[in-house]
Structure 1
């Protein structure tokens, strides 16, 4: 009988870990990263398309609900949706917690070297950044193309035809960014 009870307890715990969207909790937090919005929609692709503005890392954000492949949030009192467009292997709860963090990143950023802080403020990548710093600056890579965040290369996109690859050394720091010259000028802080 104890084995059956343990199996039921484990099943209940696993069920709670992957709650349906409607059962996911609302919570207050901060944007994990610089995210681009058209005023109502933020995509996990984080494209820098015309007319989009950057909402800075650390902006207070309230998760208010969940929809079909989206997390409903309030940012500066305005409704936005963070769309899980390309990271659908993540359930919405995990997706929400990736982009809305409970700890304000401002204190961590304040402790970074000046060039790293400048790169994050300008939504660019520079040599020596950690994976965490790259994510703060330009967002997370979409998980459909980057299932392992510890991988030595992150494949990222500035736009539909503007791919850039962030290459990390064995210590997990940026050693190079590979892309075309035009995208390089927009993404890399030398």
Structure 2
């Protein structure tokens, strides 16, 4: 094969790879609902879900369209606005798994409506209360970052309100939230006794 033919063959293979990659990305575009309460600055939602000033809570069950992927991010449209859910701390998950963690096909609002009033009130405030199941905690606070919480069946989950304000949630043998370990200021912001 001549030099020119080799270049054409290489271009054809590269183009074919792009077409295949584009097809895979197109298949991963879907509509769904936000799994959990997530905080946004208007364009970025981090998997850390920090409760920093200027961020608003987008409630669990909000309709979401996954429109594409970028470097460690899932591109979404929420209420007609483009945003990205950033995979800042859960990079052990690939793009598709990360997207399906946060954008679910079944609207969680129907399930939330069946939960006890105290649990519903806590979820509405992005807080937790004793007796919540793991699913209820996830809905209220989002997923704990997987780099610090590789096993969601663990009795201890670690969260942060910001870079410096850690709190730890302890689950009992039945998988119910039993207690919190943190300083009093953080506890007042996330815990409903």
- Structure 1 length normalisation: TM-score? 0.88
Matches of residues 64-83 of structure 1 in structure 2 within 5 Å? 64-83=67-86
Q: Counterparts of 2:135 and 2:150 in 1: how far apart (Å)?
A: 16
Matches of residues 114-133 of structure 1 in structure 2 within 5 Å? 114-133=117-136
Question: Aligned-pair distance for 1:98?
Answer: 0.4
* Matching of residue 89 in structure 1 with residue 92 in structure 2: yes
Unaligned ranges ≥5, structure 1: 1-18
Q: Which runs of 4+ in 1 moved over 4 A?
A: 19-22
Question: Aligned-pair distance for 1:22?
Answer: 7.6
1:186 aligned residue: 189
1:171 aligned residue: 174
Q: Counterparts of 1:163 and 1:20 in 2: how far apart (Å)?
A: 39
1:39 aligned residue: 42
Question: Aligned-pair distance for 1:73?
Answer: 0.2
Question: Secondary structure of the equivalent of 1:115?
Answer: helix
**Equivalent pair of 1:43/1:84 in contact (CA under 8 Å):** yes
Q: Counterparts of 1:81 and 1:21 in 2: how far apart (Å)?
A: 19
Q: Counterparts of 2:73 and 2:22 in 1: how far apart (Å)?
A: 9
Unaligned ranges ≥5, structure 2: 1-19
Q: Among 137, 141, 147, which residue is 2:140 paired with?
A: 137
1:8 aligned residue: none
Aligned residue pairs, count: 172
- Structure 2 length normalisation: TM-score? 0.87
Question: Aligned-pair distance for 1:20?
Answer: 6.6
1:4 aligned residue: none
* Matching of residue 23 in structure 1 with residue 13 in structure 2: no
CA 163–169 in structure 1, closer or farther in 2 if over 3 Å, else same: same
Question: Aligned-pair distance for 1:189?
Answer: 1.1
Question: Aligned-pair distance for 1:23?
Answer: 2.4
Q: Counterparts of 1:21 and 1:178 in 2: how far apart (Å)?
A: 46
Q: Counterparts of 2:126 and 2:74 in 1: how far apart (Å)?
A: 23
2:109 aligned residue: 106
Q: Counterparts of 1:177 and 1:37 in 2: how far apart (Å)?
A: 25
Question: Secondary structure of the equivalent of 1:159?
Answer: coil
